[in-house]
Amino acid sequence: MTFPPDLVLFDCDGVLVDSEPLSNVVIQDNLARHGLNISIDQVEDYFVGGTLAGVMTTAREMGAKLPDGWLDSIYGEIFDVLAAEVEPVPGIFGVLDELDAAGIGYAVGSNGPHRKMEITLTRTGLRQRLSGRIYSREDVAQPKPAPDVYLKAAAEAGVSPDRCVVVEDSASGARAGKAAGMYCLGYVAGTDPERLAPICDALFRSMDDLPGLLNLRTLA
């Protein structure tokens, strides 16, 4: 990769919006009500970066007694909490400002449904910045760790995958970025670096560091 890239692709949860701690508590509490008591660390280990359909399958295998309508129920619980409490990841607006100033495109690719991103991106003031560039696993055949959502975002932007940088905070998402043939930066402010180090090309802890990693400031 020669920096700066032509396109930056962001995961949503944990990268643009600080939604994962809120969602994880809802999942932990819900599963406990259905007979599966696990810690927040275990919720993160098993489920972060995946889909709630995957959570349902794994939780049932672990002994949770989840009814057939569980997906609709858990989505409702999570959406209510996010609509009331979710905040943007610190520093993300500054990153987008610098990308705009440098004339470099960006988009979001998420394993979450569009309805979830509508809630989180609207509440945090990010939706307007990303209008027309919001991609969900609902738009593609396979969710992350398959590369589909990132390949779709790059194709619609008319950018070759080898000119794209993916910013991820989960191993599943990082694998998707690498499978797409993209350079992957791991955001580890809230993630154990050991989960991402074997997959990502580089790691960083603060969004304030991202413009420098992308070499944007040489364009100013």
182-217 pLDDT, tens digit per residue, is: 999 999 998 999 999 999 999 999 999 999 999 996
**Residue 185 token pair:** 């930066």
Strands 202-204 and 183-187: parallel
- The rounded Cα 37 to chain-centroid distance in angstroms is 26
Residue 88, strand partner residues: 17
Strands 164-168 and 7-10: parallel
Give me the pLDDT at residue 50, please.
Answer: 75
* Cα 48 to Cα 19: distance, rounded to the nearest angstrom: 11
**Residue 94 token pair:** 């500054």
Rg, Å, the chain Cα set: 17
Is residue 196 within 8 Å of 174, Cβ to Cβ?
yes
* pLDDT of 34 higher than 80: yes
* Cα 86 to Cα 123: distance, rounded to the nearest angstrom: 7
* pLDDT of 57 higher than 80: yes
* Cα 110 to Cα 66: distance, rounded to the nearest angstrom: 25
Instruction: Report the predicted TM-score, pTM, of the whole model to 2 decimal places.
Output: 0.90
Q: Taking residues 101-130, report their average pLDDT.
A: 96
Give me the pLDDT at residue 97, please.
Answer: 96
Name residue 185's amino acid.
L
Is residue 82 within 8 Å of 120, Cβ to Cβ?
yes
- The rounded Cα 25 to chain-centroid distance in angstroms is 17
Percent of all residues in the chain with a pLDDT value above 90, rounded to a whole number: 88
User: Mean pLDDT over all residues of the chain?
Assistant: 94
* Cα 5 to Cα 220: distance, rounded to the nearest angstrom: 15
Q: Taking residues 33-59, report their average pLDDT.
A: 88
